[in-house]
């Protein structure tokens, strides 16, 4: 649906989402989001139950999670240019509702936005509210125009290192980090040797 923000009259698209439980049934929905991302030029948010976690840390209890499910979801977000919104509240938003010895919790509900959304509404947040009669926690999204926080979030994905362009790109941006690490280790070693030979006040200050 297309909506307008009352404070600054920005037009944006909001997609309410519910994904199927089975991976094979989610893939057509992922393709729909890929298609929509290529047609939207205004701020866009997709929020709801995606029935998949984005990181293994987003699940506790039960059997190990299948990485293929995560990779399908990650591929969709990358292709669609969507990023996860900052959230507050309980880490997990859904449970399987089973007994105490077999119950598992996952973060299945989230809000994803495109770059245009981040530019128009940089302080948007999602709150995980308390569950009331459901196995999922409801989400409350606050669409704020003014950026009152200076938090920046970064997550490193292990699968990045499998890409052949990863290390060349890191070296291009930051130089040879391994050589820099060796140089730093040598500098620390030299400083320790100097301090051991002369334990004066000036050496302690330099070290």
Q: Write out the residue range of the structural domain in which residue 166 sits.
A: 156-196
Residue-wise pLDDT tens digits, 52-80: 999 999 999 888 888 889 999 999 999 99
Assess if residue 72 is contained within a domain: yes
Average pLDDT of the segment spanning 23-37: 93
**Whole-number pLDDT of residue 115:** 93
The reply to whether 31 and 107 lie within a common domain is yes
Residue-wise pLDDT tens digits, 79-130: 999 999 989 998 999 887 665 556 889 999 999 999 999 999 998 999 999 8
Total domains in the fold of the chain: 2
Helical packing angle, 166-174 and 177-197, nearest 10°: 50
Q: Tell the residue number behind the tokens 């600054």, with chain if given.
A: 8
Q: Tell me the whole-structure pTM to 2 decimals.
A: 0.66
Element (H, E) at 40: none
With a CB cutoff of 8 Å and minimum separation 6, the contacts of 49 are: 17, 18, 19, 94, 108, 109, 136
Helix (H, G, I), strand (E, B) or coil at 100: coil
Q: Tell the residue number behind the tokens 């900052």, with chain if given.
A: 86
The reply to whether 191 and 97 lie within a common domain is no
Show the beta-strand stretches assigned E in the chain.
Answer: 2-4, 11-18, 44-49, 59-60, 83-84, 87-89, 94-95, 105-106, 109-113, 125-128, 139-142
Average pLDDT of the residues of the chain: 81
Sign (positive/negative) of CA torsion 50, 53, 58, 64? positive
Residue-wise pLDDT tens digits, 154-203: 556 667 767 777 777 777 766 665 666 677 677 767 766 676 666 555 55
The reply to whether 8 and 79 lie within a common domain is yes
CB atoms within 10 A of CB 207: 11
């Amino acid at each position: 649906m297309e909506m307008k923000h009352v404070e600054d009259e920005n037009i944006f698209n909001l997609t309410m989402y519910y994904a199927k439980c089975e991976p094979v049934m989610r893939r057509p929905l992922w393709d729909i989001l890929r298609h929509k991302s290529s047609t939207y030029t205004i701020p866009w948010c997709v929020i709801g139950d995606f029935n998949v976690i984005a990181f293994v840390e987003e699940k506790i209890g039960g059997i190990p999670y299948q990485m293929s499910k995560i990779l399908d979801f990650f591929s969709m977000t990358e292709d669609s240019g969507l990023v996860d919104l900052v959230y507050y509240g309980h880490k997990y938003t859904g449970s399987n509702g089973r007994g105490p010895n077999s119950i598992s919790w996952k973060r299945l509900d989230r809000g994803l936005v495109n770059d245009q959304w981040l530019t128009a509404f940089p302080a948007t947040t999602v709150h995980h509210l308390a569950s009331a009669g459901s196995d999922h926690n409801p989400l409350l999204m606050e669409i704020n125009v003014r950026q009152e926080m200076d938090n920046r979030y970064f997550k490193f994905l292990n699968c990045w290192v499998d890409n052949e362009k990863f290390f060349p790109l890191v070296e291009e941006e930051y130089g040879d980090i391994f050589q820099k690490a060796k140089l730093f280790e040598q500098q620390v070693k030299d400083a320790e040797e100097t301090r051991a030979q002369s334990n004066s006040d000036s050496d302690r200050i330099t070290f």
